[in-house]
Amino acid sequence: MTHGRPSLLAAACVASLLVLVAGCDKDKKGVEPPAELVDLKPTLAVQELWDTGVGGGGEKLRLALGLALDRGVLYTAARDGEVIALDPASGRAKWSQDTKADLAAGPGVGASVVAVGTSDGKVIALEVASGKVLWKVSVSSEVLSAPLVTGDRVIVRSVDGRVHALDALTGKSQWTGEEPVPKLSLRGTAPPVLAKDNVVAGFDSGKVIAFALASGDIAWQAQVTTPGGRSELARLADVDSAVQVDGNDGFAAGFQGRVVMLALDSGQIWWSRDLSSYRAPALDDTQLYLATADGSVVALRRRDGAVVWQQDGLKRRGLSAPAVVGKAVLVGDFDGYLHWLDRDSGKFIARERPGGERISMAPVTDGDRAFVIDDGGRVVAFSSGAPAGR
């Protein structure tokens, strides 16, 4: 089954509904407003290091243009086609390249290639060192998640349920995998991730599927969320976020479903907990952190999924996926705020508002540094360390 135009329009409507639920329209009757932010006395010192603009234009399109940090370089891409490599210490551009395309996803970065996807189903590969365009190829439909660049492959997930393996040097197709798409789905697709010799991705059917990197053969599949209910809306069960991989363990979350811990060699589900999310969890050594569909931030114990704490002070604020930075968990919201939460307790310990645009994409972190891009294309770097006042 392929994803035709009616499904894309329906998906856009569902995405709009989610924005309403998140509280972006405060005047709609019957929709609860977003949680009001309470005054906060910071207990964590946060410093803005630099900021730069990389171009917007996609604020209303629910794009997947984020940041990627690889080998000491920060990469970003803009809707208008610009791909930029930044120095993470200063924010200065190392190089920029105009692809002359309507970018919708990426960047994904590997040893020699930076890859981005477009709204009209193209994949563009650039040279890491210079930004020179190496190749452009068409895949079956819109690309709305960051490509995976690994070894000699660029792995791309398109919105029609297909996974494409392309040669990293030439763009030539190596194999294609597919999972049928329901009549109605959320706007978005789970980015593929590498788990040893497999490519793992979530699908709109509620499944996580592992494809052999070399051949595309299905190694295993796991049903994270089972569609239920009488209406198409009630049956939404998308796994729209990346599976988080750590050694032999994987962690995945589904909309209107569950968060699960998977064995990456077999797909066996070790534990599950009923929580709805379309954002990827973040991990540390002992816990995982999840932004739920209704705006709670929840910490779960990794070994058994037990709830450690739950912070409900950001409900209906349309949260980004969380990220672990130092001793904190960091999330962005629909109003452009960044919130630092204590990893042990879930208490708010710092807050910043670098701009007024929504923060949809997960922050990228490196030790105590965090890099954030908002939907208007503003990139901001922060450091956090000692308790405030010291």
Overall domain count for the chain: 1
For residue 257, the model assigns a pLDDT of 84
pLDDT at 256: 84
Cα torsion angle, 341, 347, 350, 353, sign: positive
Q: What is the pLDDT of residue 30?
A: 65
Half-sphere exposure of 240 (CA within 13 A, CB side): 29
Report if residue 68 sits inside a domain: yes
**CA-based nearest residue to 149, from 195, 112, 105:** 112
- Any domain includes 89: yes
| Residue 289 β-bridge partners | 282, 299
Closest to 206 (Cα-Cα) out of 229, 231, 177, 228? 228
pLDDT at 61: 58
Please give the pLDDT value at position 21: 41
Reading the block at residue 89, the tokens are 């210490």
- Cα 258 from chain centroid? 17
Considering the domain boundaries, does residue 202 fall inside one? no
92, part of any domain: yes
Q: DSSP for 265-317, please give it.
A: TT--EEEEEE---SS--EE-SSEEEEE-TTS-EEEEETTT--EEEEE-TTTTS
Helix (H, G, I), strand (E, B) or coil at 360: coil
Tell me: the pLDDT tens digits for 203-254? 998 999 999 999 999 999 999 988 777 777 777 778 889 999 999 999 999 8
Chain-centroid distance of CA 151 in Å reads: 22
Q: Do the domain assignments include residue 266?
A: no
For residue 380, being part of any structural domain is answered with: no
CATH for 83: 2.40.128.630
> Looking at the domain assignment, is residue 163 inside a domain?
yes
User: What's the pLDDT at 388?
Assistant: 66
> Which residues of the chain are modeled with pLDDT < 50?
1-28, 390
Cis peptide before 6 (omega within 30 of 0): no
Can you give the pLDDT at residue 274?
94
C-alpha 360 chain-centroid distance: 8
112 belongs to a structural domain: yes
Query: What was the pLDDT predicted at 225?
Result: 84
Structure tokens at 9: 């329009």
Domain that holds residue 158: 63-187
